[in-house]
Amino acid sequence: MSASVVGLSGSPAPVSRSRALLELALAALERQGSGPTRLIDLAQLPADGLLGRREDREVTAALRAVSEAGVIVVSTPIYRATYSGLLKVFFDLLPQDALAGKVAIPIATGGGAGHLLAVDHGLRPLLASVGALVVANGVYGTDAQFRNGVPEPPLVERIERAANEAAALASGVTT
């Protein structure tokens, strides 16, 4: 069965704060009845396939999962003031309008608050460039908002708010 909600983790780190927020968002969407969820760890996909050097079964399956989903949740660490290169190479493989008719939630974590606007200046246009309807409530967390990998309550609340908005929008969005 294809997942109605697909999460894309763009962190290359094996233990990842942005991925932790992604997992919370997927759990919130599942609780709200948005359908089955699937998390795709982009760092686990073969690099040759991601870089377009050759066709790759796993990368093709990931692209198909995105095309079949109704809600896409994207998480990334901030690298050099914007989203990760890992996320970028995956998005470069998506066809034009690949996310048309889909709702998207942008999530990012950074070392500090200085690059907070990367959600609005980086992730939001990235998602809009392939046609996604992006929620107003994007999420940005700083490393100081995590204790032993667990996000503090205000950050969890922001994830809940974004998931609520995505669920409401998705129920009214037609392809």
Ligand X SMILES: Cc1cc2nc3c(=O)[nH]c(=O)nc-3n(C[C@H](O)[C@H](O)[C@H](O)COP(=O)(O)O)c2cc1C
Residue 112 interacting with ligand X (CB under 6 A): yes
Distance in Å, CB of 142 to ligand X, minimum: 7
Which residues are CB-contacts of 171 (< 8 A; sequence separation ≥ 6)? Answer: none
- The site that binds ligand X (CB under 6 A) totals a number of residues, namely 18
Distance in Å, CB of 113 to ligand X, minimum: 8
Distance in Å, CB of 149 to ligand X, minimum: 9
Quote the Cα angle for 129-135-138, to 5°. Answer: 95
Q: Which is nearer to ligand X, 12 or 131 (CB)?
A: 12
Which residues are CB-contacts of 174 (< 8 A; sequence separation ≥ 6)? Answer: 101
Quote the Cα angle for 102-10-162, to 5°. Answer: 45
Residue 147 interacting with ligand X (CB under 6 A): no
- Check: CB of residue 76 under 8 Å from CB of residue 18: yes
Q: Which of 46, 52, 101, 111 binds ligand X (CB under 6 A)?
A: 111
Residue 37 interacting with ligand X (CB under 6 A): no
Which residues are CB-contacts of 64 (< 8 A; sequence separation ≥ 6)? Answer: 2
Q: Which of 3, 6, 7, 17 binds ligand X (CB under 6 A)?
A: 17
Kind of pairing, strands 5-9 and 71-77? parallel
Residue 77 interacting with ligand X (CB under 6 A): yes
Q: Which of 3, 7, 8, 11 binds ligand X (CB under 6 A)?
A: 11
Q: Which residues bind ligand X (CB under 6 A)?
A: 11, 13, 16-19, 77-81, 109-112, 114-115, 143
